[in-house]
A and B are shown apart, each in its own frame.
Chain A
């Protein structure tokens, strides 16, 4: 919303400097994004939240400033609408379910022409293009008061009839700016005897607009159903100033004021005379409503005691007509009633004020969020484990092992393109997909971390010789949403470590997590590196945080290296387990060295109950050699 300071000043005295005003407006909820100084004015650009359609008008912003400055607002002078003895004929058929209020009047004998300078300048400051005096007045009053208004050329309404109805879908409509549309189903439109003349709440029709030759106009100030406007506007991809107001909820009690203001200006700037009694078709009276605020509840939610007088002043400055009903002092009543209630009367332009908490916000924001003290929650700290608990300390532990091993961590997008999939021989048909992707490159949910890691690997090749990368992140499995699962994967890629180093790294991770798992199956040997990918969510289910201290051995071990020559294809792991199996006194076996078919094992013998003797070890060694020979035809290498 663009707001010129000069226009605001017509309704409220402003003492704050533009910079201070901008800051205060932001604090109360009208986010001031820019302050532009022009040669004769200051323009504020405000971000209006969806709950405040009233602030899509100058008067709405002026009201907020009046509350900030604690001043009264000067509402424009409105005439009483004159009735006429000789009304022109016009039948209006409407339905409050699709058009809750239809306010309007006919003015005849007008002269369409250029707007006066002051009006054109005002519109231009608001980035609006002046068109002619009638259209400009309707735009002006909408910007001023926040009620959208449309002027029809009365003489083009065939049959003197206006019928509000919903479309069946597919109807042709040409907007006042000359663009042709096919209307969606359920759009609210006005038709005359022959054709659609208005797309309600969004755009007027070209066939009934106000042009040079127009002599008689019908001014319509409606209330529309937000959802219906929203749906049509979205379906057509067509938004207007009017539709943004109607979508969010127009001031339903403001149509008569807007009609008076418009009529007054038309008579002044375009001449003519009132040619109908005012129309105001509605089923309910759009009256202000009552809302109560318990003073004790206010204190309780805010955490401070704003004095009663200050509270009343704030509500008064917001035009909410507060009336304090003192609390009952009888002892048995609970605390909540002691401070009494403040009954407010909510003006129809404040559709956002519906519950007590809304009033609490009103008091708090005008009091000023930055004037509040800061406290910490007082209650008990929860000790029961929260649902959906995640142990980030475990992630940190794993990541630190990878980091210590030289791997750097990356974060990549979960969304990938179909090309990414097909290049990696994955059928996109079997991958979860977004219906409305931001681009083809980000259409599918990744089923693996490999694709992004490979890309990262290639990207870094131009700058680095040695690359070690990993990611711990979600992958998304399931061919359709019914089977969709989000699983954490831990994956890495390296061209700087060999298979055994990666294997050892994974073994170290498993060991630290207390998990018994074979790491080989997670490792893939690529053309130019090693890749690993682990289903991390699955893996950490076996996480065992318990570590038990084992007392240090009282008796020294005997250590020896045995070189073995094997024949044919013998697996090292088989040899190691065979050696271990020969005696419980063999406490550790590791591969020290290998060359061709010779392998040297480092063997630790230890008895926790007594000193081992050379003879005892020789006995075990014999057993080992014997079994290795019989099972693997392995011989001692002398």
Chain B
């Protein structure tokens, strides 16, 4: 692994004792140094084949959806137009509009990937963040650097959140490209029935991508916390993805209605509210608030665990 070399270079001649003991001294390197650590973390994350494969899978989803819709409607008919279409329950949101406007493929692709693909990818990256290092035996080398555990944890979390954003943008960009290739573009109709220009549509698409990325903050923090609990990267990833699936299932059980607003995935589809005119902010705000609470609670728990942990590997 290139991890040892990369961080070996960054970590100048400082020995284990001072790095671990002198946390005030660790503060002196300052912002630039932290940024350097963050950059090296990003480079290692995004250069991994695993990460690239995850992003490729995510980029493939809109391609598949686009081609499927294109084939389905090749004879000029539109989707979901059957008698008593039953409220379009047959697919992800917005799928009926794709044939008329390629931009809707962005929304459909995000609606299709948000329940599972995106959080799974984030769970893999977040779960691997600390436990993966411990598993590979590189965590103690990382701690040799005068970073301090808190700072390392923050850098790890920042890198994970960057991945959330990049992954979402990859899906959105791929969907936009496929949508532009296969379907016409132009003015679009919001789900409230009003028309907006294509430029505003693009802006909404960007806002939606940001809202989707923000929706993943909660699971990223949860994954990071799980990652500090174990020394096995695989176990951390599996736990995080398992928790994701469990919460998604619980969110479907009507008897647990009272608990639903506290599940991190409950307001995920609120991003679609950005397509209303005027925008309906209530659920979006609830979603952001909930993600912030998850980030704060599990971030703090991860900090409590990680800074007090015996690092043996």
A binds B: no
Question: B-contacting residues of A (Cβ < 8 Å)?
Answer: none
